Structure 1
Amino acid sequence: MAHRGRLQSLVSGQVSLERMAEMMAPKLVDGRWRKPELSRRLAAKVRKAWLQDGKEWPFNTKERTNYGGWAIEDLPAVKQKGKKVDRQKIDRQKHIEERMKVMPQLIEEYREKFRAWRRCDGMSPIDKTFMTPGQLRKKQKAQQS
Protein backbone atom coordinates (compact mmCIF):
# COMPACT_ATOMS: atom_id res chain seq x y z
CA MET A 1 0.00 0.00 0.00
CA ALA A 2 1.23 3.50 -0.76
CA HIS A 3 2.25 5.56 2.25
CA ARG A 4 1.78 9.31 2.47
CA GLY A 5 5.40 9.97 1.41
CA ARG A 6 5.08 7.51 -1.45
CA LEU A 7 1.81 9.13 -2.51
CA GLN A 8 3.60 12.50 -2.61
CA SER A 9 6.32 11.05 -4.81
CA LEU A 10 3.67 9.64 -7.16
CA VAL A 11 1.90 12.99 -7.33
CA SER A 12 5.08 14.98 -7.86
CA GLY A 13 6.22 12.70 -10.69
CA GLN A 14 9.35 11.32 -9.01
CA VAL A 15 8.27 7.76 -9.86
CA SER A 16 8.68 6.69 -13.48
CA LEU A 17 5.62 6.02 -15.60
CA GLU A 18 6.67 2.39 -16.13
CA ARG A 19 6.92 1.85 -12.37
CA MET A 20 3.56 3.55 -11.80
CA ALA A 21 1.92 1.36 -14.45
CA GLU A 22 3.45 -1.68 -12.77
CA MET A 23 2.12 -0.55 -9.38
CA MET A 24 -1.43 -0.14 -10.71
CA ALA A 25 -1.58 -3.59 -12.35
CA PRO A 26 -2.34 -6.85 -10.52
CA LYS A 27 0.47 -9.41 -10.62
CA LEU A 28 0.51 -13.17 -11.15
CA VAL A 29 2.93 -14.65 -8.60
CA ASP A 30 3.33 -18.43 -8.28
CA GLY A 31 0.03 -19.05 -10.05
CA ARG A 32 -1.93 -16.68 -7.79
CA TRP A 33 -3.04 -13.15 -8.49
CA ARG A 34 -1.95 -10.41 -6.10
CA LYS A 35 -3.61 -7.04 -5.62
CA PRO A 36 -2.00 -3.99 -7.23
CA GLU A 37 0.39 -2.04 -4.99
CA LEU A 38 -1.56 1.10 -5.80
CA SER A 39 -5.30 0.66 -5.25
CA ARG A 40 -7.83 2.21 -7.60
CA ARG A 41 -8.79 4.72 -4.91
CA LEU A 42 -5.21 5.91 -4.49
CA ALA A 43 -4.65 5.87 -8.26
CA ALA A 44 -7.70 8.13 -8.57
CA LYS A 45 -6.17 10.52 -6.01
CA VAL A 46 -2.90 10.60 -7.93
CA ARG A 47 -4.75 11.15 -11.21
CA LYS A 48 -6.75 14.01 -9.68
CA ALA A 49 -3.57 15.64 -8.37
CA TRP A 50 -1.89 15.27 -11.78
CA LEU A 51 -4.86 16.87 -13.53
CA GLN A 52 -4.91 19.74 -10.99
CA ASP A 53 -1.20 20.39 -11.70
CA GLY A 54 -2.05 20.63 -15.40
CA LYS A 55 -0.29 17.38 -16.34
CA GLU A 56 -1.92 14.91 -18.67
CA TRP A 57 -2.76 11.51 -17.13
CA PRO A 58 -0.97 8.90 -19.28
CA PHE A 59 -3.05 5.91 -18.14
CA ASN A 60 -6.43 6.81 -19.61
CA THR A 61 -8.27 3.72 -20.70
CA LYS A 62 -9.40 3.78 -24.30
CA GLU A 63 -13.07 3.43 -25.08
CA ARG A 64 -13.94 0.07 -26.49
CA THR A 65 -15.06 0.16 -30.08
CA ASN A 66 -15.22 -3.55 -30.77
CA TYR A 67 -17.27 -5.98 -28.70
CA GLY A 68 -16.58 -9.52 -29.82
CA GLY A 69 -16.25 -8.56 -33.47
CA TRP A 70 -19.30 -6.26 -33.38
CA ALA A 71 -19.18 -2.52 -33.84
CA ILE A 72 -21.02 -0.72 -31.05
CA GLU A 73 -23.75 0.58 -33.36
CA ASP A 74 -24.32 -2.93 -34.77
CA LEU A 75 -24.81 -4.61 -31.38
CA PRO A 76 -28.27 -6.14 -30.96
CA ALA A 77 -30.59 -4.17 -28.72
CA VAL A 78 -30.73 -5.69 -25.26
CA LYS A 79 -34.03 -5.46 -23.45
CA GLN A 80 -33.58 -4.21 -19.93
CA LYS A 81 -34.93 -6.73 -17.48
CA GLY A 82 -36.15 -4.66 -14.57
CA LYS A 83 -38.87 -5.96 -12.30
CA LYS A 84 -41.76 -8.06 -13.47
CA VAL A 85 -44.25 -5.71 -11.78
CA ASP A 86 -42.92 -2.74 -13.74
CA ARG A 87 -42.91 -4.64 -17.06
CA GLN A 88 -46.51 -5.79 -16.69
CA LYS A 89 -47.93 -2.58 -15.20
CA ILE A 90 -49.43 -1.19 -18.45
CA ASP A 91 -51.07 -4.49 -19.42
CA ARG A 92 -52.44 -4.85 -15.90
CA GLN A 93 -53.93 -1.33 -15.97
CA LYS A 94 -55.62 -2.04 -19.32
CA HIS A 95 -57.08 -5.28 -17.95
CA ILE A 96 -58.38 -3.48 -14.85
CA GLU A 97 -60.01 -0.75 -16.97
CA GLU A 98 -61.75 -3.34 -19.17
CA ARG A 99 -63.03 -5.26 -16.16
CA MET A 100 -64.24 -2.07 -14.45
CA LYS A 101 -66.39 -1.25 -17.50
CA VAL A 102 -68.17 -4.61 -17.11
CA MET A 103 -68.43 -4.32 -13.31
CA PRO A 104 -71.92 -2.69 -13.02
CA GLN A 105 -73.41 -5.45 -15.18
CA LEU A 106 -71.73 -8.16 -13.08
CA ILE A 107 -72.96 -6.57 -9.84
CA GLU A 108 -76.53 -6.41 -11.15
CA GLU A 109 -76.41 -10.07 -12.27
CA TYR A 110 -75.13 -11.11 -8.84
CA ARG A 111 -77.82 -9.12 -7.02
CA GLU A 112 -80.57 -10.55 -9.22
CA LYS A 113 -79.28 -14.09 -8.66
CA PHE A 114 -79.24 -13.53 -4.89
CA ARG A 115 -82.75 -11.99 -4.93
CA ALA A 116 -84.04 -14.97 -6.91
CA TRP A 117 -82.51 -17.32 -4.36
CA ARG A 118 -84.09 -15.35 -1.49
CA ARG A 119 -87.49 -15.39 -3.25
CA CYS A 120 -87.09 -19.14 -3.85
CA ASP A 121 -87.87 -18.70 -7.55
CA GLY A 122 -87.11 -22.33 -8.38
CA MET A 123 -89.59 -23.68 -5.80
CA SER A 124 -93.23 -24.49 -6.21
CA PRO A 125 -95.80 -22.31 -4.38
CA ILE A 126 -96.79 -25.29 -2.21
CA ASP A 127 -93.18 -25.77 -1.03
CA LYS A 128 -92.93 -22.05 -0.24
CA THR A 129 -96.11 -22.20 1.81
CA PHE A 130 -95.53 -25.36 3.86
CA MET A 131 -91.73 -25.59 4.26
CA THR A 132 -89.61 -23.82 6.87
CA PRO A 133 -86.80 -21.51 5.68
CA GLY A 134 -84.19 -24.13 6.68
CA GLN A 135 -85.97 -26.82 4.64
CA LEU A 136 -86.20 -24.44 1.66
CA ARG A 137 -82.45 -23.75 1.79
CA LYS A 138 -81.66 -27.47 1.92
CA LYS A 139 -83.90 -28.14 -1.06
CA GLN A 140 -82.33 -25.22 -3.02
CA LYS A 141 -78.80 -26.52 -2.35
CA ALA A 142 -79.86 -30.00 -3.45
CA GLN A 143 -81.24 -28.57 -6.70
CA GLN A 144 -78.04 -26.59 -7.40
CA SER A 145 -75.82 -29.65 -7.00
Structure 2
Amino acid sequence: MASKPYARPLSPHLGIWRWGPHMLVSILHRATGVANSVGLGLLVWWLAAIAGGEDSYATFVDVFTVSGGGLNVIGYVVGIGLTLTVFQHMASGVRHLVLDIGAGYELRKGKMTAMATMVFSPLATIAFWAWLLVGKH
Protein backbone atom coordinates (compact mmCIF):
# COMPACT_ATOMS: atom_id res chain seq x y z
CA MET A 1 0.00 0.00 0.00
CA ALA A 2 1.23 3.51 -0.83
CA SER A 3 2.41 5.77 1.97
CA LYS A 4 0.09 8.54 0.72
CA PRO A 5 -3.34 7.14 0.00
CA TYR A 6 -4.13 9.75 -2.66
CA ALA A 7 -0.67 10.05 -4.24
CA ARG A 8 -0.82 9.57 -7.97
CA PRO A 9 2.06 9.07 -10.37
CA LEU A 10 3.19 12.14 -12.28
CA SER A 11 2.55 12.18 -15.97
CA PRO A 12 5.68 12.94 -18.02
CA HIS A 13 5.75 16.56 -19.15
CA LEU A 14 8.29 19.12 -20.30
CA GLY A 15 9.31 19.97 -16.74
CA ILE A 16 10.46 16.40 -16.12
CA TRP A 17 12.12 15.45 -19.39
CA ARG A 18 15.41 16.94 -20.47
CA TRP A 19 15.22 18.69 -23.84
CA GLY A 20 16.83 16.93 -26.75
CA PRO A 21 16.89 17.25 -30.52
CA HIS A 22 14.37 14.42 -30.91
CA MET A 23 11.82 16.41 -28.85
CA LEU A 24 12.41 19.54 -30.92
CA VAL A 25 12.02 17.62 -34.18
CA SER A 26 8.76 16.11 -32.96
CA ILE A 27 7.37 19.54 -32.13
CA LEU A 28 8.72 20.97 -35.41
CA HIS A 29 7.01 18.17 -37.33
CA ARG A 30 3.64 19.19 -35.89
CA ALA A 31 4.30 22.92 -36.38
CA THR A 32 5.45 22.48 -39.97
CA GLY A 33 2.38 20.36 -40.68
CA VAL A 34 0.21 23.26 -39.53
CA ALA A 35 2.28 25.75 -41.55
CA ASN A 36 1.97 23.59 -44.65
CA SER A 37 -1.80 23.48 -44.16
CA VAL A 38 -1.85 27.27 -44.05
CA GLY A 39 0.30 27.24 -47.19
CA LEU A 40 -2.43 25.23 -48.89
CA GLY A 41 -4.64 28.29 -48.39
CA LEU A 42 -2.22 30.23 -50.58
CA LEU A 43 -2.46 27.49 -53.20
CA VAL A 44 -6.24 27.82 -53.14
CA TRP A 45 -5.93 31.60 -53.47
CA TRP A 46 -3.59 31.15 -56.44
CA LEU A 47 -6.01 28.73 -58.13
CA ALA A 48 -8.96 31.04 -57.43
CA ALA A 49 -6.96 33.95 -58.84
CA ILE A 50 -6.30 32.00 -62.02
CA ALA A 51 -9.97 31.10 -62.31
CA GLY A 52 -11.03 34.67 -61.50
CA GLY A 53 -9.43 36.16 -64.56
CA GLU A 54 -6.64 38.53 -65.43
CA ASP A 55 -7.33 41.18 -62.78
CA SER A 56 -7.52 38.78 -59.84
CA TYR A 57 -4.38 36.96 -60.98
CA ALA A 58 -2.56 40.29 -61.35
CA THR A 59 -3.48 41.11 -57.75
CA PHE A 60 -2.05 37.80 -56.54
CA VAL A 61 1.13 38.29 -58.55
CA ASP A 62 1.55 41.84 -57.20
CA VAL A 63 1.36 40.59 -53.63
CA PHE A 64 3.93 37.82 -54.06
CA THR A 65 6.38 39.04 -56.67
CA VAL A 66 8.45 42.06 -57.57
CA SER A 67 6.20 45.09 -57.91
CA GLY A 68 7.03 48.65 -58.78
CA GLY A 69 10.58 47.81 -59.76
CA GLY A 70 11.53 46.88 -56.19
CA LEU A 71 11.93 43.69 -54.22
CA ASN A 72 8.73 42.41 -52.61
CA VAL A 73 9.87 41.04 -49.29
CA ILE A 74 6.51 39.48 -48.38
CA GLY A 75 6.60 37.07 -51.28
CA TYR A 76 10.14 35.93 -50.57
CA VAL A 77 9.59 35.56 -46.82
CA VAL A 78 6.44 33.51 -47.36
CA GLY A 79 7.99 31.48 -50.17
CA ILE A 80 11.24 30.73 -48.38
CA GLY A 81 9.40 30.05 -45.11
CA LEU A 82 7.01 27.60 -46.74
CA THR A 83 9.88 25.91 -48.57
CA LEU A 84 11.69 25.48 -45.26
CA THR A 85 8.59 23.99 -43.63
CA VAL A 86 8.08 21.57 -46.52
CA PHE A 87 11.67 20.32 -46.37
CA GLN A 88 11.64 20.03 -42.56
CA HIS A 89 8.31 18.21 -42.56
CA MET A 90 9.50 15.89 -45.34
CA ALA A 91 12.80 15.07 -43.59
CA SER A 92 11.04 14.51 -40.29
CA GLY A 93 8.46 12.33 -42.04
CA VAL A 94 11.20 10.18 -43.54
CA ARG A 95 12.77 9.92 -40.07
CA HIS A 96 9.44 8.80 -38.63
CA LEU A 97 9.05 6.26 -41.44
CA VAL A 98 12.43 4.77 -40.54
CA LEU A 99 11.41 4.69 -36.87
CA ASP A 100 8.13 3.01 -37.82
CA ILE A 101 9.98 0.10 -39.38
CA GLY A 102 11.86 -0.35 -36.10
CA ALA A 103 15.23 1.15 -36.97
CA GLY A 104 17.01 4.07 -35.35
CA TYR A 105 15.70 3.76 -31.80
CA GLU A 106 19.17 3.77 -30.27
CA LEU A 107 19.68 7.02 -28.38
CA ARG A 108 22.71 8.10 -30.36
CA LYS A 109 21.12 7.32 -33.74
CA GLY A 110 17.88 9.00 -32.71
CA LYS A 111 19.68 12.21 -31.80
CA MET A 112 21.81 12.03 -34.93
CA THR A 113 18.83 11.62 -37.26
CA ALA A 114 16.96 14.40 -35.47
CA MET A 115 19.91 16.74 -35.95
CA ALA A 116 20.21 15.60 -39.57
CA THR A 117 16.66 16.77 -40.30
CA MET A 118 17.43 20.20 -38.83
CA VAL A 119 20.60 20.47 -40.92
CA PHE A 120 19.02 19.13 -44.10
CA SER A 121 16.01 21.45 -44.24
CA PRO A 122 17.88 24.80 -44.28
CA LEU A 123 20.51 23.44 -46.67
CA ALA A 124 17.84 22.08 -49.03
CA THR A 125 15.95 25.38 -48.82
CA ILE A 126 19.08 27.38 -49.65
CA ALA A 127 19.92 25.05 -52.54
CA PHE A 128 16.36 25.17 -53.88
CA TRP A 129 16.13 28.97 -53.78
CA ALA A 130 19.63 29.37 -55.24
CA TRP A 131 18.61 27.11 -58.11
CA LEU A 132 15.32 28.99 -58.49
CA LEU A 133 16.89 32.46 -58.51
CA VAL A 134 19.93 31.57 -60.61
CA GLY A 135 17.69 29.88 -63.18
CA LYS A 136 15.86 33.20 -63.74
CA HIS A 137 18.97 35.05 -64.90
Please report the TM-score for the alignment, with normalisation by the length of structure 2. Answer: 0.25
Please report the TM-score for the alignment, with normalisation by the length of structure 1. Answer: 0.24
Structure with the bigger percentage of strand: 1
Structure with the bigger percentage of helix: 2
Q: Which protein has the larger Cα radius of gyration, Structure 1 or Structure 2? A: 1
